[in-house]
């Protein structure tokens, strides 16, 4: 298990600090298909290609750093999720992982729905033509203005996150003469095995309304009384980058138990449950993610079993994968700038990006891998730390990885599995220009989010 899944488990980096280096891969030129997008290959000249295009040519045309996204892989993953969950379930792509107008169009073409969690994401979704009824609106503190906009647009569901919000959404809907379909987000008390900052179903955190102490039942009581709300069901999201299905099973069981309590108390069988997102992906070869088919089967079985034992009709299930759809589909391409061997310690490889295009390593201690992609090499493996160009020693992109010892400035290296939460959490720290996202498909590359320019930075500066 890697640190992505179990922060407390054995760590590649820990092994290194104790002087026992993790073994380098047998051949550094081989790209593990588990962590790379589907159409990645290496051509006869040793240059890595995506969608049939050489990274060297892509770097010339689009510059570095840049994210290259495999459109065919993205679409295939959308289809895998919707096929796995079938007709009796809905898949909502979590836009926070990465959103742009092109993404919204692909989602529509592949039959997925969309989860948004801010006015900005809502605007992007609507602007790209996503039908409002296929949008779910999330967030623990949606502003009244955002709520009004969502209701006016006719979003298919708003996920209510607090007692205040139950009243707020009901009031705004009523004042617009509407009855808004809603779900109530509950915290089921599951400790997901993931980084503390991305675990969301234990009780001591800001999201949702706890099942414990009857709070969720009270929220349901209040929501059912309000004319502005049409209560569709219950929502639970237990965290992110999770490999172990046990947490989802407990969550599903507790949510169904709440449906049974609601039926007993109010005589109403709520028709929907949403079990959130959070399925882990492979960032390194140590990670073993679950396939959508396996997830759908496990969740379907547990919901059916729990419903049967409470004599409930099976509700419609929805899920909200973000990372599992977009994460594996992209890599970040960097150019090596400087190489600094520190005798007896490690070699620092500085690239032309850093924590501004991938904050996950600094923020969550996330693990990534890296490969030399502009050529092959038969040189010995050297243990490196890939760092960025920011004024901060925590500006680390890949903490511990092996690259060939003949690595040189000007080489292109790529970090795979950066499709989720890298561009979407990118910043302008040190006035860095956020990199473009380039979609590649069948030998064609097209920018779907352009690179920022210095004019973009100056445009916001009104002094």
Q: Per CB under 6 A, which of residues 60..79 are in contact with ligand LLP?
A: none
* Among 51, 95, 278, 292, contact with ligand LLP (rule: CB under 6 A): 278
Q: Is 320 marked as binding a ligand?
A: yes
Pick between residue 94 and residue 330 the one whose CB is nearest to ligand LLP.
94
181 among annotated binding-site residues: no
51 binds ligand LLP per the rule CB under 6 A? no
Report the first-to-last Cα separation within the chain, whole angstroms: 50
449: left (phi over 0), alpha (psi -120 to 50) or beta: beta
Output 243 or 402, the one with its CB closest to ligand LLP: 243
Nearest approach, Cβ of residue 235 and ligand LLP (Å): 7
Q: How far is the CB of 363 from ligand LLP (least distance, A)?
A: 7
Q: By CB under 6 A, tell whether 138 contacts ligand LLP.
A: yes
Measured distance CA(52)–CA(49) in Å, rounded:
5
Q: Count Cα atoms within 13 angstroms, Cβ side, for 253.
A: 12
Where does this chain touch ligand LLP (CB under 6 A) — which range of 7-15, 100-108, 173-181, 237-245? Answer: 237-245
Q: Is 348 annotated as a binding residue?
A: no
Single out the segment in contact with ligand LLP by CB under 6 A; choices: 43-51, 245-253, 273-281, 404-412: 273-281
Asked about 391 being catalytic, the answer comes back as yes
- Residues near 397 by Cβ (< 8 Å), separated by ≥ 6? 332, 334, 351, 353, 354, 355, 358, 361, 368, 370, 386, 387, 388, 415
278 in a labelled binding site: yes
Q: What angle do CA 437, 443, 448 make, to 5 degrees?
A: 20
Neighbours of 290 (CB within 10 A): 19
Q: Which helix (H) or strand (E) holds 182?
A: strand 180-187
* Residue 97 contacts ligand LLP per CB under 6 A: yes
> In angstroms, what is the minimal distance from the CB of 56 to ligand LLP?
29
321 is in an annotated binding site: yes
Cα distance between residue 379 and residue 376, in whole Å: 9
Query: Left, alpha or beta for 7 (phi > 0: left; psi -120 to 50: alpha)?
Result: alpha
| Candidate list 78, 117, 307, 391, residue with the active-site label | 391
Task: Give the bridge partners for 447, in sequence order.
Answer: 438
Q: Are 107 and 87 in contact (CB under 8 A)?
A: no
| Contact map string, positions 320 to 339, toward ligand LLP, x by CB under 6 A | xxxxx---------------
Considering only 89-97, 100-108, 372-380, 409-417, which stretch makes contact with ligand LLP by CB under 6 A? Answer: 89-97
- Count of chain residues binding ligand LLP (CB under 6 A): 23
Q: What is the DSSP string of 218-245?
A: HHHHHHHH-TTEEEEEEE---BSSB--T
Q: How far is the CB of 292 from ligand LLP (least distance, A)?
A: 12
Rg (CA), the chain: 23
In this structure, the number of other CB atoms found within 10 A of the CB of residue 393 comes to: 7
Residues in contact with ligand LLP by CB under 6 A are: 94, 96-97, 115, 138, 198, 237, 240-241, 276-279, 320-324, 360, 364, 420-421, 425
Write out the catalytic residue numbers: 391
Q: Which residues are annotated as a binding site?
A: 278, 320-323, 360, 364, 392, 421
Q: Which residues are annotated as a binding site for substrate?
A: 323, 360, 364, 392, 421
């Amino acid at each position: 298990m890697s640190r992505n899944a179990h922060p407390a488990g054995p760590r590649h980096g820990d092994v290194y600090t104790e002087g026992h280096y993790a073994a380098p891969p047998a051949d550094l030129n081989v790209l593990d298909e588990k962590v790379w997008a589907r159409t990645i290959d290496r051509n006869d000249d040793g240059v890595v290609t995506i969608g049939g295009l050489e990274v060297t040519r892509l770097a010339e045309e689009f510059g570095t750093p840049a994210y290259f996204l495999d459109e065919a892989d993205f679409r295939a993953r959308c289809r895998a999720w919707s096929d796995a969950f079938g007709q009796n379930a809905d898949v909502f792509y979590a836009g926070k992982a990465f959103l742009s107008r092109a993404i919204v169009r692909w989602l529509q073409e592949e039959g997925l729905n969309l989860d948004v969690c801010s006015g900005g994401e809502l605007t992007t979704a609507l602007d790209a033509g996503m039908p409002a009824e296929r949008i779910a609106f999330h967030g623990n503190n949606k502003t009244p203005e955002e709520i009004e906009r969502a209701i006016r647009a006719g979003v298919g569901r708003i996920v209510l996150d607090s007692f205040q919000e139950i009243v707020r959404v009901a009031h705004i809907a009523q004042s617009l003469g509407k009855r808004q379909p809603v779900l109530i987000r509950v915290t089921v008390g599951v400790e997901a095995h993931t980084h503390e900052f991305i675990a969301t179903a234990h009780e001591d955190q800001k999201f949702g309304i706890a099942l414990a102490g009857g709070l969720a039942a009270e929220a349901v009581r209040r929501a059912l009384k309000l004319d502005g709300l049409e209560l569709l069901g219950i929502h639970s999201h237990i965290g992110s980058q999770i490999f172990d299905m046990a947490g989802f099973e407990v969550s599903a069981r507790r949510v169904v138990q709440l449906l049974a309590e609601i039926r007993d108390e109010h005589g109403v069988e709520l028709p929907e449950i949403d079990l959130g997102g959070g399925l882990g992906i492979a960032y390194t070869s140590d990670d073993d993610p679950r396939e959508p088919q396996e997830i759908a089967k496990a969740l379907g079985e547990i919901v059916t079993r729990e419903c049967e034992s409470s004599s409930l009709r099976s509700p419609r299930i929805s899920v909200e994968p973000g990372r599992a759809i977009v994460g594996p589909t992209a890599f970040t391409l960097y150019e090596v700038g400087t190489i600094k061997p520190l005798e007896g310690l490690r070699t620092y490889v500085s690239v032309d990006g850093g924590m501004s295009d991938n904050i996950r390593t600094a923020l969550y201690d996330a693990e990534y891998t890296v490969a030399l992609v502009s050529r092959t090499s038969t040189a010995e493996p050297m243990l490196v730390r890939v760092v960025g160009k920011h004024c901060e020693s925590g500006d680390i992109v890949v903490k511990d990885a092996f690259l060939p010892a003949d690595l040189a400035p000007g080489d292109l290296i790529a970090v795979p599995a950066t499709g989720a939460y890298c561009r979407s959490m990118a910043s302008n720290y040190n006035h860095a220009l956020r990199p473009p996202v380039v979609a590649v498909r069948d030998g064609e590359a097209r920018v779907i989010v352009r690179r920022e320019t210095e004019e973009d930075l100056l445009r916001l500066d009104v002094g």
